[in-house]
């Protein structure tokens, strides 16, 4: 199960008390989702 906060996804994160300024966080879970090569595979560029 993956939780997606759609409020932050649609620029609502910029209005938080501490604004979210990056488009996404490259967490270990996201890297694992890229596959066996991780950040060195097809998604590198």
The count of other CB atoms within 10 Å of the CB of residue 45 is 3
DSSP code per residue over 4-42: --HHHHTTGGGGSSS---SS----HHHHHHT-TTGGGSG
pLDDT at 44: 59
Is residue 21 within 8 A of residue 11, CB to CB? The reply is no
What's the CA gap between 28 and 3, in Å, rounded? 15
pLDDT tens-digit series, residues 22-38: 877 888 988 898 888 88
Residue 3: its H or E element: none
Assess whether pLDDT exceeds 80 at residue 8: no
pLDDT at 9: 65
Assess whether pLDDT exceeds 60 at residue 45: no
């Amino acid at each position: 199960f993956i939780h997606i906060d759609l409020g932050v996804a649609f620029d609502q994160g910029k209005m938080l008390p501490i604004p979210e300024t990056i488009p996404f966080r490259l967490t270990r879970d996201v890297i694992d989702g890229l596959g066996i090569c991780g950040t060195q595979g097809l998604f590198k560029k």
